[in-house]
Amino acid sequence: MFPNYIIYDTDPQYSWVKYADSLSDVQKVLVLMVLEGIPIILGIAITLKAYLFTIRELEEFPQTLLDHANIKPYKLLLYPALIFITFIPMLIHNIAMIFVDRTPEWSLTIHIFLTNIVGFTNALVYIFQRRLYQNVDKIEKQRFSISSERSASFFEDFDNYESHSRNSMK
Partner 1 sequence: MNLLEFDVDPDEYPIYQDILDLVCTSLSILGSLVMFYLCLRLPSPRSQSVNFVLSLAVVDFLYATTNILSFFEDRDDEALCGTFCKVEAIIRGFSFFLSVFFATCIGLTCLKTQLPNHLTVAGFLLKYAYFIGLGFCTILYVIL
CA dihedral over 51, 57, 60, 61, signed as positive or negative: negative
Helix, strand, or coil (residue 5): coil
99 versus 126: smaller Cβ distance to partner 1: 126
Cβ of residue 113: shortest distance to partner 1, in angstroms? 6
Q: What is the DSSP letter of 8?
A: E
Cβ of residue 64: shortest distance to partner 1, in angstroms? 23
Cβ of residue 119: shortest distance to partner 1, in angstroms? 3
28 versus 47: smaller Cβ distance to partner 1: 47
- What is the C-alpha to C-alpha distance for residues 156 and 159, in angstroms, rounded to an integer? 5
Name the residues that contact partner 1, by CB under 8 A: 1-3, 5-6, 8-13, 15-17, 34-36, 39-40, 42-43, 46-47, 50-51, 53-54, 57, 76, 79-80, 82-83, 87, 104-106, 108-109, 112-113, 116-124, 126-127, 132, 135-136, 139-140, 143, 162, 165, 169
Cβ of residue 71: shortest distance to partner 1, in angstroms? 13
139 versus 146: smaller Cβ distance to partner 1: 139
Chain centre to alpha carbon of residue 18: 26
Chain centre to alpha carbon of residue 84: 8
C-alpha angle 21-22-23 in degrees, rounded to nearest 5: 95
Cβ of residue 89: shortest distance to partner 1, in angstroms? 13
- What is the C-alpha to C-alpha distance for residues 157 and 85, in angstroms, rounded to an integer? 36
11 versus 21: smaller Cβ distance to partner 1: 11
Q: What is the CA radius of gyration of the chain?
A: 23
